[in-house]
Structure 1
């Protein structure tokens, strides 16, 4: 070998060592004869470790096997193979290469050696895979993703753009994007181009663009610049999202909110909304008006608590706590202090809306001004518990106050029963107006004669009650004397002075007394004072040994109870029916079933005498079941056989004792099923005052009856002691106005006002109303004027036996006049 040839070989060797690609030479037996530095770096083997070893011994070939066979066949045929192949380094890392494998034949037809030149293409493969994924994401996106150069020529157009604008990619590529999307505002297209040509970035830009088919869609645009590797601006990308449906929904929501605001203004209902995600509040203008605030004040929990009445802030804090603990619906009432210093009552309903993942999304609060209703309720409750003439507590409130004192075991509770002597002479001689004036003055004088802590009320007629606590016998006598002395000064009646005296009965409460027993004792003592000549005070003697009457009464009570236990089986009980009339006409729409006891020795026993005994002994449960079966069976017969009676209803009185019975629902169900009557035709009546005395009403039973379609009627409405809120949770459907309010029509100017308040209450709760105890044409005319829908009473008919009902129904259903003048001649 010449020196020149050696120099050439040395240069070639140096070049192969420094080249950046792996160069491997193999002899005919696939043994490594050359392994440059790039191969060492790529595979992790030094040249000295691999030279002379078969390439297969190094485990650097990762396949696939089919490609390896293809390479071998190509080389054996004397051709060069180039392509991609997978290899593995010393640590086992698998990576792709691009390799060129060439045979070295020399003078032989069969290759005597092989030279492989390869390069790691892992980064290129990764970039290609990333590009494919990005391309797939772009193509699968529901948004339109468009690329454009600096002149606005489309360089990319994904499937989303094709769907959104109607142009296929082949139609769009290479065209000016402004020819593909037409906006109603032509200047906007130039604005987008200007953003593409600058480094500006814009998002959330809304526009209305035209599709290929001419339809207009609403889109939201995001425009961003695109730079080359040198940082030069080469174009931009536009992401367009179709918001047509969103805009429609938003428009519908805006219209709905406008309608809601208008409706709230009409109904005086305000609303507040809180977004848990954004922490943003919203309130309606009507809400601002209700609280007396300013329209620019933003609502917040702190602001709501600040506006609330000091006494109600703990209530609102409790509401917030309940909502935070997971309650989804809370209903409550509270007061606010307006900027003018006035107090308004608000009824609020707070509801938490949940996101799909179960977390709270929005708090929705509606607020209604109930101030006027509260005032009307206060008036109604005052009228129900106070005498319309004197303004003093009435019988019901007096009884409640007295019973409360006894329940709390207040010391030395005393009741005084005050009655005017010869008061009838005033009414008959001077007139009822003069009598009313006397009663008003008498109430004022009794009030002045007693202590400030004592309660003075009108029991009825010319009877007054004084309820005292912590009053000894000597003090009671002195107070009674002051009351009598106050009446001796005479009463002024339009320039005329009349002189009247009073009789007073005094009773002190014992340890086991009830309000009724103490009042009865005071009443007994008062009559003793009148019997003794009047104008005096008598004290009730609690010792039964001094009076044989209590013993006789106890024996009579035991006899009554004994006879009552066998009255049903002996057939002494029967039902009578009083018609319920639809006003203003005279159509009979139903009947009230009334229990009667015809005793073989004592004749007809009033219900007031035996019903309390039945309730106390529990006999009311079997008797009540018998009444239900009889009334429903009889009513269904009329509905099926009497013309015009197909929709007849029946009202049956029940007691709390029956409601508390565990089998009551089954009793009602059996009575309905056995008679075949529609449950909606049955109305169960329960007296309001009795209802309010019961502390543990079975709400589940009431709810089940309501769900079955049976109606609950509140009898003697207006005589109870509770807030009207019980109407909602008792599932009441009917209010029956107590007869005492009907009696006042035409005499008491407040009577009509009270009935109007009851009607307003009933309408607000969606309840039916029936007036009881109608006896005169004047009362009926006044009820019609007030708009009372239904009534019953002696004006039409006393309770009648079942045999008379069919003859009554037919004329009443045909519109004939069925006033008392025609029907009560035999009663």
Structure 2
């Protein structure tokens, strides 16, 4: 039936457009609600099938004639809201069928049918081509232009063109912005869901994603499968050594290798850190061992190649077979813990002995994983001779400086013990004591006499340090430096006890008669330029060949009344070592520790100063006073008596003094004790204290040195706190020869 339309009836057409827009928006909102409740298929059916069917029903039995432009709106909305090509094409065909039914019922005109169908086909083809390519403003222009253009084209053969145009424009104005907003909202929602379900770094599933994955499994697949818990061995050490950026690359490469070995229906989950779990549904128990072995080989056999070089990765694995549930995961985690306790880089299954992938004949370097690779890379340009051994003492890595110093090539040193360099004059009990010290988890330092292949003998000052991962020692690394001369006062050191049986003595001479003293030097480094600005002279006392703790010796000297005499003997050892090496460098300050008892004895202190300034210019000499030894010293008087002497306050933060004394005394240098430095990375309060203390010291005109610096993270924080200089193992261990340039 045809209607006669007058221009004065356009408000009715607007109202019809509003009602139709409400109908469309209602359908789309229902689809959105289903989508948010994970009823994805139902949501797509409603938008692609339900909406055009409903428009046909309204047009057939309702009070409103649906204009052709409304189908265009529905079609454009379909392509904007449903981002899946198969549903887009299928929904377009259904809308085309609805248009055909609509035209046949309302006009019966073949020309109108042909025009409308041609327009629909052209629009579908245009949307199919342009939808993936257009975003933002261009997509909005496409949507508005499509609706208006189709409505105008429809007027060519439609006697109700004016009413169709008004209704279509009303619906377009009310719904197109909604379509765009809903499409953007849906995209963001799906993106948020993906981010919640997937790890941003590796693309593996998160715990939340695992729940979704499990909910989509059939009961049969969940009933039997294998859960594999993986842990990257010593990954914290790798991050601390190479940085988190390279650590992230290793995690990504590990996840990629795992995924290539799995089926599409399997899942890789990263619960956190360097731990991963692999979920493989529908696997029989007899298939699981081969799968686990294959995965372990995939992630450990071939090296990981990064910008800094190639590294082998050790991976501990625990796995269990059963229902894919929390109980099976707990069993796999327990097996993983057993794998780590059995030496790492091995596989443990329920009720099974640990299976090590390392063959008996494999080189010792393989047992240390990437540690040997990292050592070679780190030491490649280092001028100090360095060596890495496994727990049996076999050499697994050396640098070029070690080969040059010992006169032996890597092929000659590989899998040998460092004793290959020995001159053969060291008693066996010396090495027994050395190994006992290392097995106790302590650092060994001392002098050993060596011989090169050409027969030349030489003395080396060596430092050996146990490498511990948790409570387990996995190897030893050492440094070696040739002593400038062979001296009777450089005896072979056999052990490094922290205490000894001090002899009963009546005089200071009796006490000192049993001891010998050697001086070593540790560089003080400017934190901004990393240049060496000075050396702290340290004493290594020995008692019948045993290396002793200086604190223990000074404590016993205090009891024997020999502390001033001990201070003088230590000073003589420092002067003797400087004279043996040549003139003191002009660019270096010498930091020398002096006990408070010597400071109170003006005659002794003046005599000591004269001896020191004979080898080190006064403006390069810094006298350190320990904060633990501040008793009965008139600091203001001391500063007045020795105006040309540069003083430093040692051990700030752990001693017995008050800050008011530092204000009165105003030493040139303030040295922060290692006890505070060790806490700055993990304790925000300590960092705040350090920052305030540094600002306060700078206000006094003093400079600040941090002692006991061992890690890059400590250095970064010290720089942020404006600390001037630092010293510690991060740069160098104490050596018999001073170091004037850093090679890091």
TM over 0.5: no
> Radius of gyration: which is bigger?
1
Q: Which has the higher helix share?
A: 2
